């Protein structure tokens, strides 16, 4: 996998909206924050457009993404928010220039679709907070995002969790939002690597839907292909009468496998949304007391 060049002070970065619409105030605030990071933000022409649920028409969102990917002096692409819409445009983009000069793509939730696409192209990307959530993200997580983008990649050391399974593994990290990963299963966007470490998180889903998705992935033998699993946050779950938490649902399914499993990674639709380099080779060591995750070149 190829890692895009780290950012330098004065670099131009783009803010684009490939999915749901966003209020201009979020984009303005994010641009100000990026200026404080000594970056030069450029707001996409349709970043705050509205077309029903989406940030502009499909064609407008395609134009903005293509512009951000192809413009030579733009060194990173901040997706402003998730919601829904990335699947409608991801395969209509031309990645030929981007492949020759990759740059960081940052986002989570619906942006899982773009992380998956870049994985098929052999390019790393950053699962991390977006402008819509910047103001509510913990300062430590924002600092870690800044540091990762500027080349200060550090490891994570997490406390133990009762559902963890001990072990050590080194493999490529893939994943993102569970619902989106389930949606792109068996498509051109699905990771083709046979033995990765999978990260999953989700928000505002019925617990029976979480169970249905993990049971579906189990039946399709997706879990059998893994070398490890990292479980992020499953927040604002609905249908609590299902009788199990999302973590309990996943833990139950993992009983059929033997690889290391880490529960409680601080990433997802929460304030403690810490960055993960998707596509990076990571070392994950899970013991009874802690989980340590190191990225390649850490």
Mean pLDDT of 193-222: 95
pLDDT at 191: 77
Distance between CA 139 and CA 148 in Å, rounded?
A: 14
pTM of the model: 0.96
Coarse DSSP helix, strand, coil percentages of the chain, rounded to the nearest 5 percent: 35, 25, 40
pLDDT at 137: 98
Question: For residue 211, what pLDDT band results from cuts at 50, 70 and 90?
Answer: very high
The neighbouring-strand residues paired with 13 are 41, 76
pLDDT at 9: 98
Mean pLDDT of 164-189: 96
Question: For residue 190, what pLDDT band results from cuts at 50, 70 and 90?
Answer: confident
pLDDT at 194: 72
What is the token pair recorded at 241? 């009468």
DSSP 64-95: HHHHHHH-TTEEEEEE---SS-HHHHGGGS--
pLDDT digit string, tens, across residues 143-164: 999 999 999 999 999 999 999 9
What is the token pair recorded at 235? 């927040």
Distance between CA 296 and CA 298 in Å, rounded?
A: 5
Give the mean pLDDT of the chain. Answer: 97
Strands 276-278 and 261-263: unpaired
Question: For residue 179, what pLDDT band results from cuts at 50, 70 and 90?
Answer: very high
pLDDT digit string, tens, across residues 31-45: 999 999 999 999 999
Q: Which residue has the tokens 């080779």?
A: 281
End-to-end CA distance of the chain: 15
pLDDT at 297: 80
Instruction: Evaluate whether 130 touches 80 at the Cβ level (below 8 Å).
Output: yes
Residue 11: partners with Cβ closer than 8 Å, 6 or more residues away: 39, 40, 75, 76
pLDDT at 128: 98
Q: In the predicted model, is pLDDT for residue 129 greater than 90? A: yes
Dihedral sign, CA of 198, 157, 150, 19?
A: positive
pLDDT digit string, tens, across residues 43-92: 999 999 999 999 999 999 999 999 999 999 999 999 999 999 999 999 99
């Amino acid at each position: 996998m190829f890692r895009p060049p780290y950012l330098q002070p004065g670099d131009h970065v783009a803010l684009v909206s490939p999915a749901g619409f966003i209020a201009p105030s979020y984009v303005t605030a994010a641009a100000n924050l990026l200026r404080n990071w000594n970056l030069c933000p450029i707001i996409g022409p349709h970043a705050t457009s509205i077309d029903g649920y989406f940030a502009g028409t499909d064609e407008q969102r395609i134009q903005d993404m293509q512009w951000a990917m192809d413009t030579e002096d733009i060194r990173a692409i901040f997706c402003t928010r998730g919601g829904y819409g990335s699947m409608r445009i991801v395969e209509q983009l031309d990645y030929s220039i981007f492949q020759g000069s990759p740059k960081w793509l940052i986002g989570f939730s619906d942006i899982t679709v773009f992380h998956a696409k870049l994985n098929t192209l052999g390019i790393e990307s950053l699962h991390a907070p977006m402008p819509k959530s910047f103001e509510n993200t913990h300062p430590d997580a924002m600092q870690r995002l800044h540091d990762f983008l500027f080349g200060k990649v550090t490891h994570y050391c997490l406390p133990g969790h009762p559902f963890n399974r001990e072990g050590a593994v080194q493999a490529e990290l893939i994943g993102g939002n569970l619902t989106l990963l389930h949606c792109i299963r068996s498509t051109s966007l699905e990771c083709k690597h046979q033995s990765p470490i999978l990260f999953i998180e989700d928000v505002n889903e019925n617990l029976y839907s979480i169970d249905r998705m993990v049971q579906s992935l189990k039946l399709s033998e997706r879990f059998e292909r893994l070398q490890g699993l990292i479980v992020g946050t499953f927040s604002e779950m609905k249908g609590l009468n299902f009788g199990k938490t999302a973590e309990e649902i996943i833990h139950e399914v993992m009983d059929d496998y033997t690889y290391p499993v880490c529960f409680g990674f601080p990433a997802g639709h929460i304030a403690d949304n810490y960055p993960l380099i998707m596509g990076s080779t990571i070392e994950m060591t899970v013991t009874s007391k802690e989980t340590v995750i190191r990225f390649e070149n850490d």
